Structure 1
Amino acid sequence: MEYADDIAQRHVEVPHRLDAQQLGIPRAAQIAYAPVQLDEEDLEYLSESGDERSAAVEVPGFAPRGPLTAANNLRRPRPAPSGPTMETTRFTKKPKVEAVGGSGTRGRVLDSDFPREKRGAVKGSQHHFRCLISSDAPFPNTDLATEFCREAWGKACKDQGIDMEFGPLVVSMLTDRAPQIRGEIKIKARTLVPSYYKLLDKNSKADAQTIRARVEMLKDNEAFVHENPEERTGRYKHPIIQAVINETWYSSQRDEGVEYSEYFSEKVAFNVGGRRKSGFGIPLVTIALVLTAVQCALDEWATGQRSGVEFSEKTYGPVFEHHLSKLDTLKEKMADMEIVERIQSQLLDGARWVYINILS
């Protein structure tokens, strides 16, 4: 509950605009979060995920992701896993993603269902899996979800230097983390949307008809992705994108964007002062997922009063693919201007700025 109250009501510094004269270090802006009554579902996500983060993990030989193209329910191009292979780790028969009884509520598999000496790998595999969902495929099909489980488990076992079987219990435990991380992203977006899009006045009040009209304007032709939604300028530069990224993956020194940074560092290159600059940026998959969560949060205000909308794969899987396709298309069409690459780089700079200047 304390964590939920903190997210819903605290004031934080969120960088949302980069200053080129400061070598890409963004200017911080004080953002006041509008208090939001969290649903029982929201509190369940938060209580399950907590705020714990395991020790930092080095992934030897990791190379950032290469160029991307949208493909429904397909994994984005990534380097080969550095964790154990079939030859180095014992596996049971190929598991199906089915519910396997655990000791948790509604039969969920908990960390305590595994031997105490193995729980470091269990916790690490959860973080790896959540990062794969956040940066590769937020709504994976059954086969891809199982592949993610295998990779996450293999990396975690290698990190811990242990040899442990991979089977249905692991799959059941890890696949629960997919809706968990999606739910967390939606909660962050829900908390930020009222203030960032001026749905409510300074007293957290507004006329329902006014809110409804504003939401319609924001969703019309995806105006909400623009820095200036009214003028439709600054596509993919609305500060809420940076804010959701920061709050989800960079709000503490133990967040996954900090400790598992390799998942959120996609290789990009663009010209600066006539010279080619190579660097890293937030993955397009992550940006598209954030936009999808923001759209879901806006949908909750469609009637002028907030009502819960489930962030389901059936409804928002196609929305995610749409946003990802639009990002890919813009990146391809504007390749000579390198607009998308610069946005990716700026978003990562903004997230790192929070870690260096606020959290350190």
Structure 2
Amino acid sequence: HPGPRSSSPQTARSSSPQAARPSSPQAGEKRPRSPSQNSDDLRSTQSPRVGTSSNRLRAKDLDDETREYANCAIDIFRCDVAAVEGFPDLSKGTEMVKDAWKATCEDLGKRVLSPSIAKMILNRAAQTRGELKTKTRPFTEALFDSGNNKKTLAANRAKAEFLKDGFRFAFACAQDTEMKTGLYKAAIIQKVANAMWFANSRDEGPSHPEVFNPFPIKALALVLTAIENTIDEYMTGMRIDIPFTAAEYRPVYESHVKSLLLFAENGAKYQLMEKILTRIHKVGRFHSGAQPLVSATKPTISQEVLDAALAEYEAGGDDSDEDDD
């Protein structure tokens, strides 16, 4: 993924903050690619297969060069699902695929994007959301009691309704009290972000600070949507799987995006949203075990010494280039 981002909440391509990914890296730099992406990433995708009766593309059908391009584009696309659009429709998803492929070609050289590879990349949107839900569920389950007796079911129903009321689940101090404080500071938010993007030093968060530092505001919306989906599964008291589909949860996601933008706007004077997003990245990076980011490397020689050396040279005090007698 390309180039540096500012430390403030970013603006998405055309419409929302923090979603935009610059089109190219800094001069002289290669777009970084996550080392966590490998050929295994291609196995669960569904795409037309070349020259087989099943008409499905498999990882072993790709030559090494094609696999490298596909993995690079998938890496970029997955980051864009977090930072640009969590529930892209076909039109937006196709645009994101083309952007990811274009960025890949900037690194690896021009190559035609085939329909089968494009579909493979596009399928990653649903796969990424599914992965997020899977990694969210254990943290949500911890909020509820196990068992199927009437008392437990009633308690779980009440808890689910309580957490959903006024987005109480997004507050730091609201899960077991009527008091709501610490909006967007609930511990579950950081836990989900850690599990999804900062599981280890090779994960997407540490590998792509240009995307995840600060944490994308739309990624936060996606986390909140996944938490809400897994809470919805307890609305009957017993967990019942509710598919994390675009049809059902895109409106929920968009509502969270809208609320986050409003919060960012209202708290702009104190940079409240920026501080929350910066902290999610900082804690996540620490959790991953990756080295802290260094904002600037200090020179080994002070500027004062360099200035003095230059002044000496300009005054004619350096004759090191003259021939010795």
Same fold (TM over 0.5): yes
Map 1:179-258; keep pairs closer than 5 Å: 179-195=126-142, 197=143, 199-200=144-145, 207-229=152-174, 230=177, 231-258=179-206
Mark the CA change 1:143 to 1:189 in structure 2 (over 3 Å): closer, same or farther: same
Partners of 1:108 and 1:75 in 2: CA distance: 38
Post-superposition offset of 1:341: 1.4
Percent of residue pairs identical: 29
Uncovered stretches (5+) of structure 2, i.e. residues with no partner = 26-45, 293-325
What is the DSSP-based 3-state SS (H/G/I as helix, E as strand, rest coil) of the residue aligned with 1:102? coil
**Equivalent residue, structure 2, for 1:320:** 253
8 Å CA contact 1:264–1:283 kept in 2: the answer is yes
RMSD value over aligned CA atoms?
A: 3.1
Map 1:1-360; keep pairs closer than 5 Å: 59=2, 61-64=3-6, 67=9, 78-82=20-24, 101-102=48-49, 108-159=56-107, 161-195=108-142, 197=143, 199-200=144-145, 207-229=152-174, 230=177, 231-265=179-213, 281-356=214-289
8 Å CA contact 2:47–2:117 kept in 1: the answer is no
8 Å CA contact 2:11–2:17 kept in 1: the answer is no
Partners of 2:12 and 2:74 in 1: CA distance: 26
What is the DSSP-based 3-state SS (H/G/I as helix, E as strand, rest coil) of the residue aligned with 1:306? coil
8 Å CA contact 2:12–2:19 kept in 1: the answer is no
Paired letter, 1:154:
K
TM-score relative to the length of structure 2? 0.73
Structure with bigger strand share is 1
Post-superposition offset of 1:296: 0.2
Paired letter, 1:172:
K
Mark the CA change 1:204 to 1:307 in structure 2 (over 3 Å): closer, same or farther: closer
Larger Cα-atom Rg:
2
Partners of 1:339 and 1:194 in 2: CA distance: 29
**Equivalent residue, structure 1, for 2:323:** none
Post-superposition offset of 1:236: 0.7
Partners of 2:280 and 2:164 in 1: CA distance: 22
Partners of 1:318 and 1:65 in 2: CA distance: 28
**Equivalent residue, structure 2, for 1:273:** none
Mark the CA change 1:174 to 1:73 in structure 2 (over 3 Å): closer, same or farther: farther
* Number of residue-to-residue matches in the alignment: 267
Map Cα deviations across residues 33-61 of structure 1 (whole Å, 9 max, x no partner): xxxxxxxxxxxxxxxxxxxxxxxxx73x4
Mark the CA change 1:62 to 1:346 in structure 2 (over 3 Å): closer, same or farther: closer
Mark the CA change 1:158 to 1:204 in structure 2 (over 3 Å): closer, same or farther: farther
Mark the CA change 1:209 to 1:72 in structure 2 (over 3 Å): closer, same or farther: farther
TM-score relative to the length of structure 1? 0.67
8 Å CA contact 1:110–1:173 kept in 2: the answer is no
Mark the CA change 1:139 to 1:193 in structure 2 (over 3 Å): closer, same or farther: same
Post-superposition offset of 1:75: 9.1
8 Å CA contact 1:189–1:244 kept in 2: the answer is yes
Post-superposition offset of 1:79: 4.6
Uncovered stretches (5+) of structure 1, i.e. residues with no partner = 1-57, 84-98, 266-280
Post-superposition offset of 1:105: 12
Mark the CA change 1:73 to 1:173 in structure 2 (over 3 Å): closer, same or farther: farther
Mark the CA change 1:100 to 1:65 in structure 2 (over 3 Å): closer, same or farther: farther
What is the DSSP-based 3-state SS (H/G/I as helix, E as strand, rest coil) of the residue aligned with 2:230? helix
What is the DSSP-based 3-state SS (H/G/I as helix, E as strand, rest coil) of the residue aligned with 1:240? helix
Deviating beyond 4 angstroms after TM superposition, the runs of 4 or more aligned structure 1 residues are 64-77, 103-108, 203-206
Post-superposition offset of 1:310: 0.5
What is the DSSP-based 3-state SS (H/G/I as helix, E as strand, rest coil) of the residue aligned with 2:270? coil
Map Cα deviations across residues 123-158 of structure 1 (whole Å, 9 max, x no partner): 111111111001110111222211211121222233
Partners of 2:24 and 2:104 in 1: CA distance: 10
Post-superposition offset of 1:251: 0.5
8 Å CA contact 2:185–2:276 kept in 1: the answer is yes
Post-superposition offset of 1:74: 7.4
8 Å CA contact 2:222–2:253 kept in 1: the answer is yes
Post-superposition offset of 1:228: 1.3
Post-superposition offset of 1:254: 2.1
Partners of 1:100 and 1:207 in 2: CA distance: 44
Partners of 2:106 and 2:125 in 1: CA distance: 22
